[in-house]
Amino acid sequence: MRYSSRVNKMEKKQKSVSVHTNKRESLREFIKERRKMAGRVMASGDVIEDPYEAAYSYKLKKKQRTLYAYEPALEHYNVFDADYPENPQRSVLIHERLKESGILDKVCKLTEDQHLLIEDDELLKLAHSMDHINNIRYLCREVNHEDCGLYDSIYWRAMDTYHAAVQAARVCVSMAAAIMVNDYGNGFANVRPPGHHASTDMPNGYCIFNNVAITAEYLLSLGLAKKILIVDYDVHHGQGIQRRFYDRKEVLYFSIHRFDEGRYWPCLPESNFTYIGEKEGLGFNINVPLNNIGLTDVEYMAIILNILLPVAYEYTPDIVLVAAGYDACLGCPEGSMNVTPAFYGHVITALSGLANGKILCILEGGYYPPSMAEGVASTIRALLGYSCDQTAHGYYLKPGVVDTINDVKQILKPYWNCFQLDPEVEIEDIFSYDRYNQHMAVEKYYGTMLEPPFEKTGYPKLTVEEERLAASKLHILVSDYAVKEYKIGYIYSDKFKLHKPPKKSTIVEAPVRIEELMHKLKYFQLLNRMLKFQLRVQDGWEEIIRATHSTEYVDRVINEEVDQRPDLYTNEFTSEVCQSVIMGLLNLAVGINDGKLHAGVALVRPPGHHAKRNEGGGFCVLNNVAVLANYMIKKLNFKRVLIIDFDVHHGDGTQELTYERRDIMYMSMHRFDNGKFFPNWERSNYNFIGSGKYAGFNVNIPFNEAKMGNSDYLFTWFKIVLPIAYCYTPDCIIISAGFDAGINDPLGSYNISPETFAHMIQTVKPIAPIILSLEGGYNSETTSLGMVLCVKSLLGDPIPVPKLDPIQSETVTTVTNVIKVLKPYWPILFSNKALGKKVYSQEEVDHLRENMTKVEETQTSPDV
């Protein structure tokens, strides 16, 4: 009887919970339906959009499996040269490294029955003429060394070469189709021969058929994709891909390649920055030609952050195809670059926020097998959603790279909104303008286009000493690399709700904030995918807090003697709640330090970033993130901690507590309104950058007057926050995650969508482990969905891409001011200059210089 009664009570309780949940969901559906109805018939003709629809539509979208294909084409090799660089060992060594590292056990292998049943001609005609296809068959009828000289860097081994090239293309198309129909999330095709140099009518550069172009055409032809981004980071320009899509906008081709002003293979004028497409494709072909050797991660990342990411986010592709060449990686004799294998993981992770994470990487070049194999391993780890290894430290950009970045921005400025952040300037004197702050683009080409007969030998090789040095550098790097799954911990306690405002108060910082947040995390089924960390209060917690706040102020908090103000309240539970919040954060830090976590989420209140050394304010009692950062430095021996604050209010407390530090760096994006917006502090302005030897380690990005939107935040993030964060190389990043810059927030009045915050997290997470600590946010829907999507980003789930409006002029002013004061301290910002309005040819410059010399000679010659 007692048992039956207890069961009935439990059933009633469960029924009550179910009704409560159903009421919530019914209400949300009702509101959503009303919005749709309102949008159907409006007098103005405008449609009301649900600003949260994108977030809710991603509830069930989770990270999917990674697909891997292995087609080493063992029968395709150069029978006349055993040392030829493009050989089966390239693919074999990659596969062995993946097996050795355990990565192969984490991926799904493409099986033969997953290959698409499509006739050879039908497949190849997607990107090649029938004449080209028949010519390859004709050439492959036998092995003829002399015929090889008719084509640049091409060999074949009878029909084995033809079959290998067809199979490579078939595998790539099969993988892309499987990804686009949602069987898999992304993939890597370890295939050969490579393809990006092959044109519609001509094999070239080890490439018979163009795997990437065929794949793109297949997806477009079946309507599986309408917009495709192709990213080509092979050190050689993929002219075959460029030519295929040069006059089309449904494919955006982006290539970083060595150029040497036309002297580097393939020695084509069309590899220069001025070749940006034509007709409908104008602006959709982006070449980043490099005129230096020995370039490192910092230069390559500057290109990714300044050009690729802004354009990619504006383009919003349906899939990203990567022409994955690793010949810019250290040790490769063909590239003579010094990019580390870790770099490739960072690029893939940054791109994974796009296209629902749909990325297919297709192997192209790479001719130093050890670094190539590590580069592929880094790429696949990123596809799997694992944490990235740290890129090589660097502050300075080679001047040639600065010029190239600005060349590209200048030529593309009319076509892409993202480049409106770069101001324009009229350069009146091309010989004496301000080269530090202004850029004049000059198109240079000193190459000679190659013609048949082509040499069949002469490829670069490493000397014994060069190979020893490359192996040594790679060994040091790889010893720090690891397969680390992205594990996330979180802290939450109902105790956090005990700190609440007085009854009948209208204060918006109240327990309901985290109640709704927790409801959303459960609704999106995210809590069970994270590890809940206990609060575990430590002895001596007062001393931990006193390392940041004054003893007198800490005593006042403990003894409930904090002065009550309109923006600050306490009750009998506040001290205990603050103590629990701090302890929870410290436990997350310990988890990261011990290697148990790579990210932590602190669902806490009260917020903290306004609390100063001797006082609280702005709803903040203790400065949670400053206490945490201090603890990590002093107790856990972290060398550098970066605090990034995107709360709409400036974290004046955090700035005060870290202003004279280099081991803790503070960066804040906030509303300022020329000092009229809370906290109404003049030191929130852009010119407060730290003092003396600490100058440059406090970064304020203050927006004035205008109502900021997604473009303003996201492109500013790419322009300032990410470059400096990469150069600072923190051991951990603490995010002061305030969502009151979000849409419909009563205090912030900005227009940032929840998904924008998630993409900010997506692009910064490769740099270092992250702790996300809740600050402000007073529209419960915006705040909870903002946090939900940030968590989904950390988990590697697909996230919606925000809608991007034109950048506002006030954003341009703010960004320009911030860069101006920080340039002397962060040379990576040298890539930002005012852009000239004309691209000069070298002939024009030489002609002007010659005329100027003649004028000067006339003016200085003695009278006759």
Active-site residue among 132, 610, 649, 670? Answer: 610
Separation CA 722–CA 48 (nearest Å) = 34
Phi, psi of 655 (to 5 degrees): -60, -45
DSSP secondary structure code for residue 253 in this structure? E
Q: At a CB cut-off of 8 Å and minimum separation 6, what does 776 contact?
A: 509, 607, 619, 647, 648, 649, 738, 739, 740, 747, 748
Q: Are 387 and 598 in contact (CB under 8 A)?
A: yes
Q: How many other C-beta atoms are found inside a 10 Å radius of the C-beta of residue 357?
A: 24
In the structure encoding, which two tokens stand for residue 775, read together?
A: 């600050």
d(CA 315, CA 231): 13
Cis omega (within 30 of 0) for bond into 193? yes
Cα separations in angstroms, 26 against 11, 18, 19, 51, 811: 22, 12, 10, 18, 40
Active site residue 132: no
Q: Cβ distance 242 to 213 under 8 Å?
A: no
Position 304, amino acid: I
Q: Count, in order, helices (H) and strands (E) of the chain.
A: 27, 18
CB atoms within 10 A of CB 860: 7
- Sign of the dihedral defined by the CA atoms of residues 339, 361, 247, 807, in that order: negative
- 251: tokens are 């494919």
Rounded distance, CA 333 to CA 466, Å? 9
Of 721, 390, 773, the C-alpha closest to 611 is 773
Q: Catalytic residue among 76, 128, 196, 197, which?
A: 197
Question: Which amino acid, 520?
Answer: K
Q: Which helix (H) or strand (E) holds 774?
A: strand 770-774
Q: Is 598 a catalytic residue?
A: no
The position carrying tokens 């301290």 is: 825
Contact 784, 615 (CB under 8 A): no
Task: Give the strand pairing for 359-363 and 186-191.
Answer: parallel
The residues, any chain, with a CB within 8 Å of residue 25's CB and separated by 6 or more, are none
Handedness of CA 365, 326, 234, 169 (dihedral sign): positive
User: 328 with 232: CB under 8 angstroms?
Assistant: no
H/E element holding 581? helix 574-593
- Which are the catalytic amino acids? 197, 610
